[in-house]
């Protein structure tokens, strides 16, 4: 795994010294040619997550209706990411940029080139080189090109986020960016069980993740209040268990076709869906759908409150494992990604020994369908195989056990990374059981410093979950995720060498992007919005 080498400050100082004279003409140029909020000095661009290395050069590239997008011939990934960029730029610029295959970098225009031997970049990194005549995006993979596109997007003025043509010059500052992530697992979760969200809402959330180079989407597909994914061999799960949501309103579910539509939309953005079926607790919706899953053989009532810890699958009936096998089998068949999340949290109504036996068997089932099991940190009490991953959310003791057992961790401390926590006492939405999470508090920590026992080698990556007990609409999702999600993306991508004081100024610039893009967001008092 790639490590962060330069610290931010040495980079900046080196950059300042190296480019002191080079920069002068550019600075004068900046006064003369106002670029509507997008800086004409590359290293001053507010890129989130902050790139590994940025170097300035003189001049700007101007994107026009005549700019051609050249894509490396016979590379599907270059064509796909080139088209994605052209589509992304179309609404705000009004340009319909044409794509052309080429065998090598053209003298002028945009260039999407693939190499396979740039070791520094790894699987997700890229090089972006801007000169007054050409912008070239180079990577080993489609992922890398896709991330380069997201950086390029942030180099353009905020008006690029608009849905209708804007009359602004589309200038990009010259220079070079070399960039790759610290962690290969950079995730956000959406709870579609407490409140149901439509396929379009989920796609909108995926676009938000993609813009900040996150690469995993964890979908919390079942809980006490609702079962949200069609399982053909157990149809009542959605017929009955999908009917309601928190508050008593009608819920909903995804057919397998709709789920696959979400998965492929995510995959087109190089995002892997990690589906979660929470068990043995958090299962009231399943227990209401099938009486035989209950220890007493009686179906439960549907539940629309927000308590936790009262439900459990019956761990000593064979039918329970037939059920789990069917669910995992069907889910694995429509999930191309390597992970299945089995929940395992807050099983307060399951005896400890029963819980351990249950997780052990579920792990075998997940493995039998060629998937890797992820579970909330409680699962470390089971006998985990070397592939299984624990998601640290609250128990430091569980995180320590994971480290001792050699189990990799996804880091999601509730007190730092839960996007459903209120920002402060005035936030109308959200919960506060893990404390208030201001934008600064959400940003100013690192997976490698939360406890001394957890070191870089124990960490697979980071996730920011958004539970939806109080979240009902797309606008609610945006309000809780913006502006905290970009910070979690930066923690995962940029690594520990970052500072809040510098970040908050970059984040401030993104407020304009959110506003132009029509996203709801919290104008946090700790960010100097423009």
- Shortest Å distance, C-beta 159 to ligand TNX: 36
CA pair distance 52, 213, nearest whole angstrom: 14
Q: Is 467 in the site for ligand TNX (CB under 6 A)?
A: yes
- Shortest Å distance, C-beta 346 to ligand TNX: 5
CA pair distance 402, 384, nearest whole angstrom: 9
- Shortest Å distance, C-beta 16 to ligand TNX: 44
Residues of 311-337 as b/e, b for ≥16 C-beta within 10 angstroms?
bbbbbeeeebbebbbebbebbbeebeb
- When the beta carbons of 256 and 349 are compared against ligand TNX, the nearer one is 349
CA pair distance 222, 369, nearest whole angstrom: 20
Binder of ligand TNX out of 102, 431, 497, 515 (CB under 6 A): 431
Cβ-contact 32, 146 below 8 angstroms: no
> Which of the residues 30 through 89 are near ligand TNX (CB under 6 A)?
none
Question: Could you count the other beta carbons within 10 Å of the beta carbon of residue 9?
Answer: 11
And the tokens for 295?
A: 């220890």
- The secondary structure of 436-453 as a DSSP string is ---HHHHHS--TTTSSTT
Q: Is 346 a known active-site residue?
A: yes
Q: Measured between alpha carbons, how far is residue 461 from residues 215, 454, 480 in Å?
A: 11, 12, 21
Q: Is 396 in the site for ligand TNX (CB under 6 A)?
A: no
Task: Of 135, 73, 77, 145, give the one whose Cα is nearest residue 103.
Answer: 73
- When the beta carbons of 103 and 425 are compared against ligand TNX, the nearer one is 425
- When the beta carbons of 406 and 435 are compared against ligand TNX, the nearer one is 435
- Shortest Å distance, C-beta 403 to ligand TNX: 19
And the tokens for 68?
A: 């051609």
Q: Is 253 in the site for ligand TNX (CB under 6 A)?
A: no
- Shortest Å distance, C-beta 309 to ligand TNX: 9
- When the beta carbons of 376 and 479 are compared against ligand TNX, the nearer one is 376
- When the beta carbons of 114 and 419 are compared against ligand TNX, the nearer one is 419
- Shortest Å distance, C-beta 270 to ligand TNX: 26
Binder of ligand TNX out of 197, 393, 423, 445 (CB under 6 A): 393
- Report H helices in 253-374: 256-268, 284-289, 318-333, 352-368
x/- binding map, residues 208-247, to ligand TNX, per CB under 6 A? ----------------------------------------
- When the beta carbons of 308 and 515 are compared against ligand TNX, the nearer one is 308
Q: Is 376 in the site for ligand TNX (CB under 6 A)?
A: yes
- Selected catalytic residue, list 159, 182, 346, 478: 346
CA dihedral 118, 126, 212, 62 (to 10 degrees): 180
- Shortest Å distance, C-beta 435 to ligand TNX: 11
Q: Which residues contact 433 (CB under 8 A, 6 or more apart)?
A: 414, 421
Cβ-contact 315, 359 below 8 angstroms: no
- Shortest Å distance, C-beta 418 to ligand TNX: 6
Ramachandran category for residue 182: left, alpha or beta (phi over 0 → left; psi -120 to 50 → alpha): alpha
- Shortest Å distance, C-beta 430 to ligand TNX: 8
Please tell me the count of residues contacting ligand TNX according to CB under 6 A.
10
Binder of ligand TNX out of 77, 143, 330, 420 (CB under 6 A): 420
- When the beta carbons of 418 and 514 are compared against ligand TNX, the nearer one is 418
- When the beta carbons of 82 and 226 are compared against ligand TNX, the nearer one is 226
- When the beta carbons of 9 and 433 are compared against ligand TNX, the nearer one is 433
- Report H helices in 212-255: 236-239
> Which of the residues 269 through 308 are near ligand TNX (CB under 6 A)?
308
Burial of 169 (C-beta count, 10 Å sphere; 0-12/13-18/19+): middle
> Which of the residues 173 through 212 are near ligand TNX (CB under 6 A)?
none
CA pair distance 241, 256, nearest whole angstrom: 16
And the tokens for 427?
A: 């936030």
Q: Is 345 in the site for ligand TNX (CB under 6 A)?
A: yes
* Phi, psi angle pair for 369, to nearest 5°: -100, 25
CA pair distance 407, 405, nearest whole angstrom: 5
Q: Catalytic residue numbers?
A: 346
Residue ranges in contact with ligand TNX by CB under 6 A: 308, 345-346, 376, 393, 418, 420, 431, 467, 469
């Amino acid at each position: 795994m790639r490590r962060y080498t330069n610290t931010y400050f040495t980079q900046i100082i080196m950059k300042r010294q190296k480019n002191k004279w080079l920069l002068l003409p550019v600075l004068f140029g900046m006064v003369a040619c106002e670029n509507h909020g997008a800086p004409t000095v590359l290293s001053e661009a507010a890129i989130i997550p902050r790139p590994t290395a940025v170097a300035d050069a003189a001049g700007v590239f101007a994107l026009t209706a005549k700019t051609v997008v050249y894509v490396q011939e016979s590379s599907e990934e270059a064509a796909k990411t080139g088209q994605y960029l052209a589509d992304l730029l179309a609404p705000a610029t009004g340009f319909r940029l044409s794509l052309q295959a080429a065998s090598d970098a053209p003298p002028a225009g945009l260039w999407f080139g693939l190499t396979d031997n740039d070791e520094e970049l790894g699987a997700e990194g890229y090089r972006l080189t801007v000169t007054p005549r050409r912008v070239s995006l180079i990577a080993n993979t489609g992922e890398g090109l896709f991330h380069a596109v997201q950086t390029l997007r942030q180099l353009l003025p905020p008006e690029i986020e608009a849905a209708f043509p804007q009359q602004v010059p589309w200038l990009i500052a010259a220079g070079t960016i070399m960039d790759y992530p610290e962690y290969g697992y950079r995730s956000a979760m959406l709870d579609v069980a407490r409140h149901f969200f439509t396929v379009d809402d989920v796609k909108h959330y995926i676009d938000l993740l993609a813009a900040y180079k996150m690469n995993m989407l964890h979908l919390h597909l079942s809980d006490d209040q609702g079962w949200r994914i069609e399982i053909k061999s157990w149809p009542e799960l959605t017929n009955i268990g999908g009917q309601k949501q928190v508050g008593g309103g009608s819920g909903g579910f995804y057919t397998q076709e709709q789920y696959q539509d979400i998965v492929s939309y995510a995959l087109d953005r190089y995002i892997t869906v990690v589906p979660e079926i929470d068990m043995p607790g958090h299962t009231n919706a399943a227990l209401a759908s099938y009486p035989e899953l209950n220890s007493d053989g009686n179906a439960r009532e549907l539940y629309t409150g927000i308590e936790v810890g009262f439900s459990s699958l019956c761990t000593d009936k064979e039918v329970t494992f037939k059920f789990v096998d069917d669910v995992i089998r069907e889910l694995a068949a429509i999930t191309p990604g390597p992970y299945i999340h089995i929940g395992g949290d807050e099983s307060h109504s399951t005896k400890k020994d029963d819980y351990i036996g249950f997780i052990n068997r579920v792990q075998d089932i997940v493995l039998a369908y060629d998937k890797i099991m992820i579970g909330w940190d409680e699962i470390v009490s089971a006998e985990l195989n070397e592939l299984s991953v624990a998601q640290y959310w609250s128990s430091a003791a569980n995180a320590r056990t994971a480290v001792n057992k050699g189990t990799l961790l996804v880091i999601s401390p509730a007190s730092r990374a839960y996007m459903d926590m209120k920002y402060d006492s005035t936030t109308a939405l959200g919960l506060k059981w893990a404390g208030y999470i201001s934008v600064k508090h959400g940003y100013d920590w690192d997976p490698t410093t939360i406890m001394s026992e957890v070191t870089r080698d124990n960490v697979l990556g980071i996730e920011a979950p958004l539970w939806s007990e109080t979240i009902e609409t797309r606008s609610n999702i945006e309000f809780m995720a913006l502006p905290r999600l970009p910070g979690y993306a930066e923690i995962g991508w940029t690594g520990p060498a970052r500072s809040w004081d510098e970040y908050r100024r970059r984040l401030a610039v993104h407020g304009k992007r959110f506003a132009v893009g029509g996203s709801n967001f919290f104008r946090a008092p700790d960010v100097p919005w423009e």
